Amino acid sequence: MARTSRLLALLQLLRGKSRPVAAATLASSLGISVRTVYRDIAELSAQGAPIDGEAGLGYVLRPGLFLPPLMLSDDETEAVVLGLRYVDQRGDDVLSHAAREALAKIAAVLPPAARETLRNPAALPGPGARSFPKDSVDLRFLRAAIKAQAKLDIAYEDAGGARTRRTIWPIAIGFANEARVLIAWCEMRQGYRTFRTDRVATAVRRGRYPGRRASLLAAWRAEAKSADAAS
């Protein structure tokens, strides 16, 4: 195993443990000597990894952000770049800016070889939408309502221009190739619906909806999966 890959694997082993792990256990899992584990722990600590412990007692990785120059494999770098460039293309101004900033931060901690993967990736997100329809309601307002688990009273126009009023429980925003959609539980329809954000004419925030957003999102995913399987 190459040294960089071995250090990454050692970090991953430590991340998955809440209690100190003996050097012998780490060595056995990685197929290396205990002496090599000691050297690798010392190297990771020098790079800034928050590792507690010592020989004979075991090692544990404390919680906290740690971005050493070796944190991503080539495949992981490709995946991150692909995802962030997709967001840059299809997100609103806020998310596009955030994607570019995140990519710059990641580039700053990648070693030279990995930076080449970032500059010239083998995987590309494909052409972005030429232009998304203009939204009447700021997506930042919708995202804030989602995070607050707040009901929204909306005026919604269908493709034919007919307008209805709905009370919805927003749970996520989907970024498709040609439009953005608000995923929500609709009180009028008593079911999950998607609403194109450019057709939401107005939105007024109300009180908190019952239940947990995570549970509603899981139920929506299960329903969508069943529908896909049946089609």
Tell me the domain boundaries of the chain. 3-61, 74-119, 139-230
CATH of 139-230, one of 2.60.40, 1.10.3470, 2.30.30, 2.170.140: 2.30.30
Give me the pLDDT at residue 65, please. Answer: 57
Give the pLDDT confidence score for residue 207 in this predicted structure: 95
CATH number corresponding to 3-61: 1.10.10.10
- How does residue 57 score in pLDDT terms, banded at 50, 70 and 90? confident
Residue partners of 30: CB distance under 8 A and separation at least 6: 1, 6, 9, 10, 13, 37
The residues that bridge with 153 in the sheet, in sequence order, are 167, 204
Taking the C-alpha atoms of residue 91 and residue 98, their distance in angstroms, rounded to an integer, is: 9
pTM of the model: 0.66
The per-residue pLDDT for 125 is 83
- Lowest average pLDDT, out of 116-130, 179-193, 200-214, goes to 116-130
Secondary structure class of 55 (helix, strand, coil): coil
Q: Sign of torsion, CA 95 132 119 5?
A: positive
pLDDT tens sequence across 115-167? 777 788 888 887 766 677 889 999 999 999 999 999 999 999 988 889 999 99
Mean pLDDT, residues 168-187: 92
**Cα separations (Å) of 89 from 50, 66, 126?**
36, 28, 9
Residues 149 and 213 sit within 8 Å (Cβ to Cβ)? yes
Model pLDDT, residue 66: 61
